[in-house]
Structure 1
Amino acid sequence: MSNAASVDALVAFFEDLHPAAVARFAEYYADDAYFKDPFNEVRGVAPIQRIFAHMFRQVDEPRFVVRERVVADNGALLVWELHYRLKGARKTASPPVIRGASHLRFDSAGKVIWHRDYWDAAEELYARLPGIGWLMRLLKRQLAA
């Protein structure tokens, strides 16, 4: 499978991701795939599945939207948004959004062997939390040029 076809299939998978689909990660990820994001660093399909199953327990209605993709011979870069609601929070007109990017590498079978997510946890998550959000905003103001 070409990287372009692998990326198309993976984007469709993530944009339709729901709790039952977490069981399908082995269709897209190699058995010993590496995954890293601001909170996790794991190897293997089962640990990757646990991360996404945990996401569904922590937030309501998570939904990935891939905004851009760059495909190369040895991998791809996806620029995405994760729309979600915190558990127990009331619905608002504009739910929170985490903006990030995923750097991917594929094996010869078109499965992901390396997945690194880049997103700013301080800006996209911590600054919105009650209690510490004000501290994060204060630090940002003090450190700005």
Structure 2
Amino acid sequence: MKNKRFDNFPSDSPLWLTKFVRVYQKLSTTNLALLETIYHPHIIFIDPMHQVEGFEELYQYFENLYENLTLCEFVIDNVIAQDNEAAIYWTMSYQHNKLNNGELVTVLGTSHIKGEHDKVIYHRDYLDLGAMLYEQLPLFGKLTKWIKAKAAH
């Protein structure tokens, strides 16, 4: 799946940003221990489903998320950085046997991250939770897609 690797870093890119992108491009269900190499002990992590504070809570959250996945991969599409902040544009592909009939689901998203002391101390994800989760459920998915279609007219 990972046929595209983002390596287009300016030479003055901060270490925390370079490490973050490289780890996420190889992060999988089998190597979550890599998270400790990029996240600050006092990380604040926010996504459309949860907010967690501290590395231990974050690691537990990721373990729970990845527990039933057969595949989860990120492709970094673009990075825009300034000072101690960056916007990361990514494509996530995942498989879960109870979602989308066990077929691959692909979701586009963006992360706003901030670095401190060569680690990420703030990470907020922006993504379409309907496309990632709700639309992948048998009955709720049809309803979600119907609501989106009606809202577009």
Q: TM exceeds 0.5?
A: yes
Aligned counterpart for 2:45 among listed residues 35, 40, 45:
35
- Residues 128 and 113 of structure 1, relative CA distance in 2, 3 Å threshold: same
Alignment of 1:1-145 (within 5 A): 3-87=13-97, 95-107=104-116, 109-145=117-153
* Deviations 1:84-126 (CA, angstroms, capped at 9, x unpaired): 111267775xx2101101100011x121110000001013321
Q: Report the count of equivalent residues.
A: 141
Q: Conserved in 2, the CA contact under 8 Å of 1:75 and 1:105?
A: yes
* Cα distance in 1 between the residues matched to 2:102 and 2:127: 24
Q: Conserved in 1, the CA contact under 8 Å of 2:90 and 2:109?
A: yes
Q: Conserved in 2, the CA contact under 8 Å of 1:35 and 1:115?
A: yes
TM-score, scaled to structure 1: 0.86
* Cα distance in 1 between the residues matched to 2:142 and 2:102: 22
Question: How far 1:128 sits from its partner (Å)?
Answer: 2.4
**SS class of match (1:127):** helix
Q: Which ranges in structure 2 are unaligned for 5 or more consecutive residues?
A: 1-11
| More divergent stretch after superposition (121-130 vs 60-69) | 121-130
Question: How far 1:51 sits from its partner (Å)?
Answer: 1.8
Q: Conserved in 1, the CA contact under 8 Å of 2:29 and 2:70?
A: no
| More divergent stretch after superposition (24-33 vs 43-52) | 24-33
Q: Conserved in 1, the CA contact under 8 Å of 2:89 and 2:110?
A: yes
Q: Conserved in 2, the CA contact under 8 Å of 1:81 and 1:97?
A: yes
Q: Which ranges in structure 1 are unaligned for 5 or more consecutive residues?
A: none
Aligned-residue RMSD, C-alpha: 1.9
Tell me the percent identity: 26
Question: How far 1:28 sits from its partner (Å)?
Answer: 1.2
* Cα distance in 2 between the residues matched to 1:91 and 1:122: 17
**SS class of match (2:73):** strand
